[in-house]
Structure 1
Amino acid sequence: MEQIQRSNWKFNMILLGMVLLLIVSIIYSITLGSADISMKDVYQILFAKITGNNALLEGFEKGWIDIVWLIRLPRILLAVFAGIALSLSGAVMQAIVNNPLADPYILGISSGASLGATLAILLGVGISFGPNYVGISAFIGALSVSFLVLLFGSSSSRADVSRLLLVGIALSSLCSAISSIIVFAANNRNGMMTLNFWLLGSLSAANWQIVKILAPIVIVISIFFCFQSRILNLMLVGDEAAVTLGQENHIYRIVYIILAAILIGFIVYACGIIGFVGLVVPHIARLLVGVNHKRMIPITILFGGLFLLWADILSRMIIKGVEIPIGVIVSIVGAPFFLYLVIQNSGERRQ
């Protein structure tokens, strides 16, 4: 009993610490930027915009107001929501295949979303879907690849982890190759720049329209998965053990993959491909609070937003006056971490 209380206290402290750290990081990051605007002026502009008290904006240059309200704040919120979506989808994919090495990037879902967006931008595919057709096309691409991974990566109606990973890597390479062919065939310099945007990832396109589309999707799906801990935990014990406990995971697996594809599709639409977030963050969350998804999912959500927010801050601060693509910063952290996981898993198998 005492051990359970101590464990609950530790989780509550970590959760509270994450919330406070995320709030402080958001407040601090708003003051950062190439424009020389004082901290006091930044907060006064934000307060005036949030409260609608335009009298407080008298004396401010319109350029300052636009920088704070139309550039910095949407970018910060996009970083947080993108981090949440990528981390959450990674945690879900790892539960689905019962392997800590799985994430949407490795399983090819991100590349499928990128291909869908490339088809939409350069060839006009899906334009009949309306003004958000790029996001919808990215979602369809992500969903299509996710089902192909399950189709070709399963044997005897069961998900084979090794095959899932190999099929995911193969499909990821195929989607990237097709995207490149489309860009070169279009002979469009802007298309080449757009491809680089998808491959390297960037938050530079952040605006309030994107945030308003993304925020409700990420919030609703995050709340949903916070109440799916029991099913996610059962997926870790395997389908056969779950059946003996009266739980069939097949339908849930399909639903979860669809929701993960929705998240990844819209994140790729807004930010391009940002790999390794879905791999690194859930693993760190497990180290902090254990494998129980009831605790791991909330920590993953908070730490994911925090992780990508600080990655964006570093991308703008490492080289003064130059913005490094955020995907590069994340890969610098994620690639060594992935190698560490591979080596660790290999060591455990030998034992």
Structure 2
Amino acid sequence: MPKFRFTFLILALIAGLLASMTFAVMVGSVGITPRIIWEVLFSKLGLLTETNASRAQSIIIWEIRFPRVVLAAIVGAALSISGAAIQALVRNSIADPYILGVSSGASVGATSVILLDAFSALGIYALSFAAFLGAIVAVIIVFLLARVNGRISVIRLLLAGIAISMVLSAITNLMLMMSKQQGGIQAVMYWMLGSLAGAKWSTIGIPFFTFLLVFILLSLNYRQLNALLLGEETAATLGINLDRFRIFIIIFVSLLTGVVVSVSGSIGFVGLIIPHLVRMLIGSNYKVVIPISALIGAIFLVWADMVARVVIAPAEMPIGIITAVCGSPFFIWMLRRQRYSFGDGE
């Protein structure tokens, strides 16, 4: 992609993301204008001394809506770049960030907190900690099972991920079946479908900095990701230590996905669909796939969360339902599009 076109696309997507976030903050039972939103934002950042916003508007914007919209953007971007990296790692276009058992492991951790009151000493952080711990333990097990004679087998990685996910899902279902807490069961099901309702400024810092770290690392290693698409022999010929790079991808993508799932629940299709869409638009060069996937993923999830908030208002629909409704038809259309194949931009 020409540098001018890439720069223009990045700037357009950034503008689109800012516009989407502004509109998402506006949507709700209390009407708020864009001017008020930006006045409150600038005042909180110390760039403006006076605003026309009332105290109630300031609280709604800064304490309730803005953290949720920012978290939606972070989660969407994180899942998108994780999906892109995993698809390059396994050279499989239907791989997603949850293929390593992250989602199932997080579900076990979250269910143990909601139904069994595990890690109660951690208070409000118990759910996030247990979900993250479950996700990381699942990935470690999958990683150990995938090693053959000290090397990582991609086939074994996929099979181990499927097997561990099934076992952990069975454990979650067993806890649900044995529980008599109707409210707890509903809470678990709601969490497993994804929700950003618990977004607070205190929950955004770790996901943001983890995303920033992994984004930078993946961007710096775009040549290795490109080489993986060409096959193991070609990548090895280019001087890439495949085992070391695979471990690098597994560790950091799992870390990012685990952190994200711990605060948002399991939100499907984002890490699967967005990388596909980006490759169809701009090709498979990961130098541009990573940043554009992040921006499109952020925009997509901001809009999905906004729809989840208003479609059955005043109640709230799990965001995973929205992403599945949007993602499934696109995926089916993509499969029917014969010109598309993994590894090219057509």
TM over 0.5: yes
Contact 2:114–2:188 (Cα < 8 Å) also in 1: no
TM-score, normalising length: structure 1: 0.85
Which amino acid is the alignment partner of residue 314 of structure 1?
Answer: V
Provide the alpha-carbon RMSD of the alignment. Answer: 3.0
Q: Identity of aligned pairs, percent? A: 37
Partner of 2:46: 51
Determine helix, strand or coil for the equivalent of 1:30: helix
**1:200 counterpart = 2:193:** yes
Partner of 2:5: 10
- Between 121-130 and 222-231, report the one with greater CA deviation: 121-130
- 2:290 paired residue among 284, 297, 316: 297
Q: Per-residue CA shift, 1:149-188, capped at 9, x if unaligned?
A: 4555677855345x65454344333322311322343432
Partner of 2:245: 252
Equivalences for 1:138-177 in 2 at 5 Å?
Answer: 138-152=131-145, 157=151, 159-161=153-155, 164-177=157-170
Which amino acid is the alignment partner of residue 283 of structure 1?
Answer: H
Quote the offset at 1:282 in angstroms: 0.8
**1:21 counterpart = 2:13:** no
Q: Per-residue CA shift, 1:102-127, capped at 9, x if unaligned?
A: 00234432222222232344445556
CA gap 1:344/1:111 in 2 versus in 1, 3 angstroms: farther
Q: Per-residue CA shift, 1:13-62, capped at 9, x if unaligned?
A: 211211111122122222111223344444433333332867547x82x4
TM-score, normalising length: structure 2: 0.86
Whole-Å separation in 2 of the counterparts to 1:201 and 1:48? 32
Contact 2:110–2:188 (Cα < 8 Å) also in 1: no
Contact 1:113–1:264 (Cα < 8 Å) also in 2: no
**1:31 counterpart = 2:31:** no
Quote the offset at 1:129 in angstroms: 7.6
- Between 235-244 and 121-130, report the one with greater CA deviation: 121-130
Equivalences for 1:68-83 in 2 at 5 Å?
Answer: 68-83=61-76
Aligned length: 341
CA gap 1:152/1:213 in 2 versus in 1, 3 angstroms: closer
Which amino acid is the alignment partner of residue 23 of structure 1?
Answer: L
- Between 147-156 and 22-31, report the one with greater CA deviation: 147-156
Quote the offset at 1:132 in angstroms: 4.1
**1:326 counterpart = 2:319:** yes
Whole-Å separation in 1 of the counterparts to 2:41 and 2:75? 22
Whole-Å separation in 2 of the counterparts to 1:68 and 1:55? 16
Partner of 2:103: 110
Unaligned residue ranges in structure 2 (runs of 5+): none
- Between 63-72 and 164-173, report the one with greater CA deviation: 164-173
CA gap 1:148/1:236 in 2 versus in 1, 3 angstroms: farther
**1:337 counterpart = 2:330:** yes
Determine helix, strand or coil for the equivalent of 1:105: helix
- Between 189-198 and 85-94, report the one with greater CA deviation: 189-198
Whole-Å separation in 2 of the counterparts to 1:12 and 1:229? 17
Whole-Å separation in 2 of the counterparts to 1:274 and 1:35? 27
- Between 239-248 and 196-205, report the one with greater CA deviation: 239-248
Whole-Å separation in 1 of the counterparts to 2:20 and 2:340? 37
Whole-Å separation in 2 of the counterparts to 1:164 and 1:336? 28
Q: Per-residue CA shift, 1:213-271, capped at 9, x if unaligned?
A: 22111112212211110121122222232222221111221121121111121222211
Unaligned residue ranges in structure 1 (runs of 5+): 1-5
CA gap 1:40/1:14 in 2 versus in 1, 3 angstroms: closer
- Between 304-313 and 233-242, report the one with greater CA deviation: 233-242
CA gap 1:43/1:298 in 2 versus in 1, 3 angstroms: closer
CA gap 1:118/1:286 in 2 versus in 1, 3 angstroms: same
Contact 1:276–1:330 (Cα < 8 Å) also in 2: yes
Determine helix, strand or coil for the equivalent of 1:246: coil
- 2:57 paired residue among 60, 64, 78: 64
